[in-house]
Chains A and B, each alone.
Chain A
Amino acid sequence: MSGRRIVITSGKGGVGKTTTTVNVGAALAKRGKRVVLVDADIGLRNLDLVLGVEKRIVFDIVEVIEGRCQLRQALIRDKRFESLHMLPAAQTREKESISEEQMKAVIVELAESADFVLIDCPAGIEHGFRSAVAGATEAIVVTTPEVSAIRDADRVVGKLNAERIPLRVIVNRVRPEMVKSGEMMSVEDVCEILSAELLGIVPDDEEVIDTTNRGEPIVLDESKRLATIYDKIARRLGGDVVAFTNLEAPGLIGRLKTLWKAG
């Protein structure tokens, strides 16, 4: 049976797509799943940095598509997680160098020998977004609890709905103390606005910055709070029912609702 093909997307940049792709992928691999991470951000690749494999890149996805190497030659195996691989994006090429069909063909081929193919989508909703989505049959929409990010996520949810791609939401960089004081939207508010099912809640945690700079997925260190959280997300993705931590509070929903009516 062929593996699941999931795109990690957001509309807005910098909300944590790459961080999520790497950590959810690593958490799945830790649970013994065969995982391939695909960097679809052609021209602005980052996944290699966050995973810490940037020095080992030999070929990239564009070279695979142009037939200049075999798919398996371009795959990089992670040294820490046996069953984790990644396919790098090209850095000096344009997003237009890959068509939607070509991207889909690569993703489908990868899924033949993986349990999960996670596709790290570029920011925006241009060509790069469309090709990243083309190969996927499911989506994870990452957003932060901020008005701009949610508005952009809403736009992406609309596009995914139109393509009939089922999706769930990860709310990233939540600061419970700000939610309590009414300065940040609650996770409930976010899900209500997006009318989408919740997959995970990830707190804002400065450890992410440090581990990213060092190229070490945070799930490597089980003592880290976020390691547990990404593991829960991995289990939910696999179909387990795992309870959520409760971070609710009344929020800024009033302003948002009028925003949505205004279109």
Chain B
Amino acid sequence: MMEAFEEASQASVPVRPLGRAIVVTSGKGGVGKTTTTANVGTALAARGARVVLVDADVGLRNLDIVLGLESRVKFHLLDVLEEKATLDEALVRDKRSETLFLLAAAQTREKEDVDTAAMVALVETLRARFDYVLIDCPAGIEMGFKNAVAGAQHAIVVCTPEVSSVRDADRVVGLLPTDWRPELIVNRLRPQLVKKGKMLSVDDVNAILRLPLLGVIADEPNVIVATNRGEPLALDATSVTGAAYRTIAAKIAGEKLPAPDVRPPSTGIIGKLGSLFGKRG
């Protein structure tokens, strides 16, 4: 099962530069961090990149489910950090992709059990072996958040077009290292509702957050279906949302692409938001 991985890592030892460690974060829970991690990772791997997805949501792991790998998880992040298993034993290779791996979180342990320094060292090790290390951050801004961010060099902030989500995202951006330039994914957009003035537009959201826009993902019942089945939409050639994830992956890989064209104008709900963001941090 590990063959492809071992081959890849051996071949890479001498020259390859370290991979990029990117944390996928949001502040607010349930906005789509895990869905984004799984889909962007899958799409990057489909381009041939070596990708490892790290579930940093210790105690409330979900990434294994979204990838449909839950029955293959034998060891987890804490086993590796505590040297109860080797990295190779703990990495689970994806069913569909040779170059995509999962490092699952422990389900029955606590976030406080993670040693920050060991986590940073682990991410470093992973960067030597993979092109991309995507870290799926837990909700909130407690220890779990801090540990997920500690080893990364870059952040993707996932936000839904809702006042609470924007406020929490703004808070999180304020907590990230000041020299980072986090990129934004607006998730669960419903253009129809935006047109009716019942949902914030992408411009509304970004008038507050002011981050480079990495992508926009529509609200789609198929995402829920795909999650329940453990099959990321990014592999579905017929799905518009799948294509949106593939575009995001292309951008991360450095392709120059035009900004997505799903941006109805401002709705006016923003008036309410404006007054909320006097201070950051």
Mark A residues whose CB is within 8 Å of B: 11-15, 18, 43-44, 46, 49-50, 54-55, 91-92, 94-96, 122-128, 146-149, 151-152, 155, 175, 178, 183-185, 206, 209-210, 212-215, 252, 255, 258-259, 262-263
Contacts and interface: CB of A to CB of B under 8 A. Distances in A.
Interface stretch (B13-21, B94-102, B192-200, B258-266): B192-200
B82 interface: no
Given A14-B30, A95-B142, A152-B62, A263 B107 contact: yes
Contact of B140 (A13, A91, A148): A13
Contacts of B171: 43-44, 91
Contact of A213 (B62, B139, B200, B279): B200
A122 to B, nearest CB: 6
B254 interface: no
B140 A44 contact: yes
Contacts of B31: 13-14
B275 A55 contact: yes
A113 to B, nearest CB: 29
Contacts of A213: 162-163, 198-200, 269, 272
Interface of B: 27-31, 34, 59-62, 65-66, 70-71, 73, 107-108, 110-112, 138-144, 162-164, 167-168, 171, 190, 193, 198-200, 221, 224-225, 227-228, 269, 272, 275-276, 279, 281
Question: Considering the complex of A and B, which 6 residue pairs feature the smallest CB-CB distances, nearest first?
Answer: A13-B29, A14-B30, A123-B29, A13-B139, A123-B139, A148-B62
Contact of B30 (A15, A43, A96, A155): A15
Contacts of A14: 28-31, 139
B59, B60, B107 interface centre (most CB from chain A within 10 Å): B60
Contacts of A95: 140-142
B164 A175 contact: no
Nearest to A215: B272
A126 B167 contact: no
B228 A125 contact: no
Given A155-B60, A184-B224, A124 B167 contact: no
Contacts of B281: 92
B146 to A, nearest CB: 10
15 contacts: A14-B28, A18-B164, A44-B167, A123-B28, A124-B59, A125-B111, A128-B142, A147-B65, A148-B66, A151-B65, A155-B60, A178-B225, A183-B221, A209-B199, A252-B228
B276 A44 contact: no
Nearest to B73: A262
Contacts, number: 148
A47 B163 CA distance: 11
Nearest to A52: B272
B201 to A, nearest CB: 12
Contacts of A185: 228
Contacts of A263: 107-108
A148 B65 contact: yes
Given A125-B111, A127-B143, 10 more contacts: A14-B30, A46-B167, A55-B275, A94-B141, A94-B142, A126-B142, A147-B227, A151-B62, A209-B198, A213-B198
A53 B138 CA distance: 28
Contact of B29 (A124, A178, A183, A214): A124
A124 B142 contact: yes
Given A12-B60, A55-B275, A124-B111, A262 B71 contact: yes
A49 B144 contact: no
A175 B164 CA distance: 23
A44 B70 contact: no
B199 to A, nearest CB: 6
A255 to B, nearest CB: 8
A40 B166 CA distance: 19
Contacts of B164: 18, 46, 49-50, 212
A49 B275 CA distance: 12
Contact of B138 (A54, A124, A127, A147): A124
A148 B64 CA distance: 10
A252 to B, nearest CB: 6
Contacts of A215: 272
A158 B34 CA distance: 23
Contacts of A44: 27-28, 140-141, 167-168, 171
B141 A178 contact: no
B224 A183 contact: yes
A158 B198 CA distance: 38
B110 A125 contact: yes
Nearest to B221: A178
Given A44-B27, A46-B168, A183-B228, A209 B110 contact: no
